[in-house]
Amino acid sequence: MHFWRLRDQKFVLKRLLLMSTLKTPPFFPHRHLLGIEGLSPQDIAALLDFAEEEIDVSRQVEKKKSVLRGRTQINLFFEASTRTQSSFELAGKRLGADVMNMSVSSSSVKKGETLVDTAMTLNAMNPDILVMRHHSAGAAALLAQQVDCSVINAGDGAHEHPTQALLDALTIRRHKGSLARLTVAICGDVLHSRVARSNILLLNAMDARVRVVAPSTLLPAGIERMGVEVFRDMKEGLQGADVVMMLRLQRERMAGAFVPSVREYFRYHGLDAEKLACARPDALVMHPGPMNRGVEIDPAIADGPNSVIREQVEMGVAVRMAVLEALSQHLPNRGGRG
Amino acid sequence: MAHPSNNRSSNSVHIRNGRIICARQKLDEISDLLIIDGRIAAMGPAGKLAVSNEDIPALDVSGKVVLPGFVDMQVNVGEPGEEHKETLATASAAAAAGGITTIVTTPDTDPVIDDPALVDFMLRRARDTAIVKVHPSAALTKGQAGKEMTEFGLLKEAGAVAFSSGHRALENAVILRRALTYARDFDSLIIHHAEDPNLAADGVMNEGENASRLGLPGIPHEAELIMIDRDIRMAALTQSRCHIAQLSTAAGVAAIRTAKAAGIPVTAGVSINHLSLNEIDIGGYRTFFKLSPPLRLEDDRQALIDGVADGTIDVVVSNHDPQNVEAKRHPFAEAESGAIGLETLFSAAMRLVHDERLSLLDLVRAVSDTPARLLGLPAGSLEVGTDADIAIADLNEPWIASEDQFRSRSKNTAFEDARFSGRIVQTFVSGQSVFSLDQA
């Protein structure tokens, strides 16, 4: 018994010591995270700095903080997503929140309930944070108007996916030191990609040079006015790039609708060794996942020395922890319960 | 590209005293032309060209004209699938007899040319059997079903020079938009058959008094005009090159003229049939005059000629469309449409020149210079250094077109027993004589 008690004491001491070394979250002047749009470079830098701390937490044996203890986080996913949903779930749990997952297949949306009705219903359950992915652009903003809690956009249609852009930025910054003046080529289905839009906004805000590389059928109208250089030829687009960000091509868009076939897409827009050779030798290869190996990326490149794709996943949890913690400053009764 | 393979005779020749006409160089003068090893090596005043090699045979063409070989953008060959109608061998022999040194095949064969392997097949067959240069155009959509675009990049690499909707219009504007957008990345030319399939419906000739008297369902002018207007808007939206395969109406010419003035990247072609004939020629249900688009009114024909003369219409094609007797020996409405035209293209066009409706230079521009430029082919001119693809013509040679002279495997000509003045007398492909009237 005595032995056990001693161990307990040591453990508590260790934890107290550890917590005192952790920084408090930076002041974050927003109640919701609906997009990168509206964030200042300072906001972004603060979130990234803070995410660095969260990486340390996630690498400990005891991956736990208590800033969200007693708080309720609901992950509301109208689109299936293993990766983002589990990343948010883990982030919430590591901060001590009670996390509930709701996915569309089991929800009342299938029974005809509107998004606003769903929001009101959930709101009545007094959640503290709602994380939502929805297939329609603007859905997160609509939700935020209807509920009292903080809303995090985990992807709304082809509009924004802010935590993906933040985790990409964190990954790049850890390898390159800074985002400023880096040349980043975003390649593939820009037209349908919320990841591309959030990344374009973030990278521009942080002073990077952004290129988009895609067949014309996969470029949204007026993209050149969003502060990017547009390339249709991938080798030209990758010339001297510091970072190559690949985007996923949805299966239903492969055969004839936007591009003629998988083999033609891979030939001209798939990242292989020959095209990657146009980028800088130390270029980072990134992909938000899930990958279509042999469609937008050669398996050898995905697993090659330039690839940081798996690291992006780790950074995802850290960034989401940082966002959750930053938003928690605005939760009611702060200090009263925590 | 497939070059003729036979190297039986020398491909060097000294063509003397010809009237040389080249639209690209804006040339119309009596000169000598020296061809060495299949290429145009020099051009100079008659009799003054220094020929270093005495062995080069001389060909005196006094009184005749020397033209850049014609580039026919729309040739239907039966190969693969309908070799009983035409093969690459017979089509190329017919082309050579008509002064056509480059043919662009349409993709509506069986199977449809919608895969790089099939383009490769065409080029190999052409290399082995054809005596003129053959460039396949590939299908715009898979199986020409109008739903999914084909692999423009891979097909172009395989050798396809354009992407054609063949005999059918692309009904869905979204698919045309994406195809144009995608084609822009590869600087590929899209060739569209502009005829609204719903308005054309089961029509078999021009809609109007004549169709009504004959009791045949008609195709209104608007079937073409509405499609052309849509295509012009799509070309403007995508800033991608769209070529209207064949115009048949005056309003269509006017629409293209306006679009070009506005800088929209649209071009247009017309078949020699529509420049030569009108709906009256159908007479009493003559199925050889059943064409797609249909022959229209005389006013339309006149507007089409004006369109070629002022450059609104960029190219003149044969729209060579062989059909065997069985396919044509039906009641008019049930017969296949189409007429052969490779061997009569030049002679029929010369009627317009003799009538002073078209200058010889305008004609050469529309059959040689412009089609080559639209397709990105190093052909259609007599510039020094280019392949010696040459047609030599006698502008006044009288002849009567008769079925038994035709080299084409099918005999469905719209010019049966037509009296012509002007004929191709010799044709060279890469400096090699592939047709000579004397030996025909």
Q: What value does the mean pLDDT take over residues A176-192?
A: 97
Residue-level pLDDT at A26: 76
Q: Which amino acid is residue A234, in one-letter code?
A: M
C-alpha distances in Å from residue B52, one per residue of A261, B49, B59, B428: 55, 9, 16, 22
Picking from B114, B151, B187 by the largest number of A CB atoms within 10 A of its own CB, the best residue to mutate is: B151
Helix (H) or strand (E) holding B72: strand B70-75
Q: Collect all residues with Cβ–Cβ distance below 8 Å to A332 and sequence separation of at least 6.
A: none
Q: Is the pLDDT of residue A20 over 60?
A: no
pLDDT digits (tens, 9 = 90+) for B46-78: 777 777 667 889 999 999 999 999 999 999 999
SS3 B138: strand
User: Taking residues A171-182, what's their average pLDDT?
Assistant: 97
Structure tokens that stand for A68 in this block: 């969200």
pLDDT of residue A18: 57
B438's tokens: 């004397």
Other Cβ atoms less than 10 A from the Cβ of B192: the count is 28
What average pLDDT does range B86-111 have in this prediction?
97
- What H or E segment, with its residue span, contains residue A259? none
- Express each pLDDT in B266-317 by its tens digit: 999 999 999 999 999 999 899 999 999 999 999 999 999 999 999 999 999 9
Interface ipTM: 0.87
Q: Which of A264, A267, A269 to mutate to probe the B interface, most B CBs <10 Å?
A: A264
CA distance B240 to chain A (A): 11
Radius of gyration (C-alpha) of chain B in whole angstroms: 21
Residues in A closer than 8 angstroms to B184, CB to CB, are 216, 232
Question: pLDDT tens digits, residue range B326-353?
Answer: 888 899 999 999 999 999 999 999 999 9
Among B105, B191, B115, CA closest to B152: B115
The two three-digit tokens of residue A233, written as one number: 């030829």
Lowest-confidence region among A212-216, A268-272, A327-331: A327-331
Percent of all residues in chain B with a pLDDT value above 90, rounded to a whole number: 91
Contact B61, B393 (CB under 8 A): no
Q: Place A24 in a pLDDT band, splitting at 50, 70 and 90.
A: confident
d(CA B172, nearest CA chain A) in Å? 12
The CA distance from A274 to the nearest CA of chain B, in Å, is 17
Residue of B nearest to A234 (CA): B185
For the cut 70, the answer to whether the pLDDT of residue B1 exceeds it is: no
Q: Distance, in angstroms, between B231 CA and closest chain A CA?
A: 17
Average pLDDT value for residue range B409-429: 96
B→A contacts (Cβ < 8 Å), by residue, are 141-142, 147-154, 178, 181-182, 184-185, 238
Residue B197 has pLDDT above 50, yes or no: yes
pLDDT of A334 strictly over 60: no
- Mean pLDDT of the residues in chain B: 94
Residues B161-178: tens digit of each pLDDT:
999 999 999 999 999 999
pLDDT in tens, A78-108: 988 889 999 999 999 999 999 999 877 655 5
Q: Is the dihedral of CA B367, B368, B370, B375 positive or negative?
A: positive
- Taking Cα atoms as reference points, which of B80, B125, B132, B84 lies closest to residue B411? B84
Taking CA–CA distances from B175, the nearest residue in chain A reads A257
Residue B7 has pLDDT above 70, yes or no: no
Mean of pLDDT over chain A = 90
Residue A221 has pLDDT above 80, yes or no: yes
Dump strand ranges (E) for A14-85. 72-77
Per-residue pLDDT at B46:
78
Residue with token string 């420049």: B275
What local confidence, expressed as pLDDT, does residue B43 receive? 94
Residue B218 pLDDT: 97
Supply the pLDDT for residue A335. Answer: 47
- Report the C-alpha gap between A130 and A151 in whole angstroms: 5
Question: b/e string for A312-338 if b means 16 or more Cβ within 10 A?
Answer: bbbbbbbbbbbbbbbbbbebeeeeeee
Dihedral-angle region of residue A221 (phi above 0 means left; psi in -120 to 50 means alpha; beta otherwise): beta
A183: β partners:
A209
Q: Can you say how many angstroms the Cα of residue A198 is from the centroid of all Cα atoms in its chain?
A: 9
- Amino acid in the structure at residue A152: I
- Residue B337 has a pLDDT of 93
Put the strands of the sheet holding A284-286 in their side by side order: A229-231, A209-213, A183-187, A243-246, A284-286
**What pTM was estimated for this model as a whole?**
0.91
- Do residues A190 and A232 make contact, with C-beta atoms less than 8 angstroms apart? no
Q: For residue B245, how far is the Cα from the chain centroid? A: 10
Confidence check: pLDDT of A14 > 70: no
Residues of A in contact with B142 (CB under 8 A): 256, 260
Q: What is the pLDDT of residue A280?
A: 98
Q: Which pLDDT belongs to residue A22?
A: 60
Report strand pairing: B419-429 vs B390-400. antiparallel
pLDDT given for residue A106 in this prediction: 55
pLDDT reported for residue A117: 87
Does the structure show a pLDDT above 60 at A21?
no
The model's pLDDT over A31-77, given as tens digits with 9 standing for 90+, comes to 999 999 999 999 999 999 999 999 999 999 989 899 999 999 999 99
Strand partners, B206: B219
CA dist B72 → A144, B98, B190, B322, B364 (Å): 63, 10, 16, 15, 12
Residue A11 has pLDDT above 80, yes or no: no
Q: Are B152 and A217 within 8 A, CB to CB?
A: no
pLDDT digits (tens, 9 = 90+) for B210-221: 999 999 999 999
Backbone phi, psi, residue A213, to 5°: -130, 120
User: Does pLDDT of B139 surpass 50?
Assistant: yes
Q: Which residues of B touch A234 (CB under 8 A)?
A: none
Say if residue B84's pLDDT is above 70: yes
Residue B224: strand pairing partners: none
Interface of A with B (CB under 8 A): 215-217, 232-233, 255-261, 263-264, 267-268
pLDDT at B107 exceeding the cut of 90:
yes
- Whole-angstrom distance, CA of residue B432 vs CA of residue A68: 86
As a whole number of angstroms, the distance between CA B46 and CA B34 comes to: 11
Average pLDDT over residues B247-252: 98
* pLDDT at B2 > cutoff 80: no
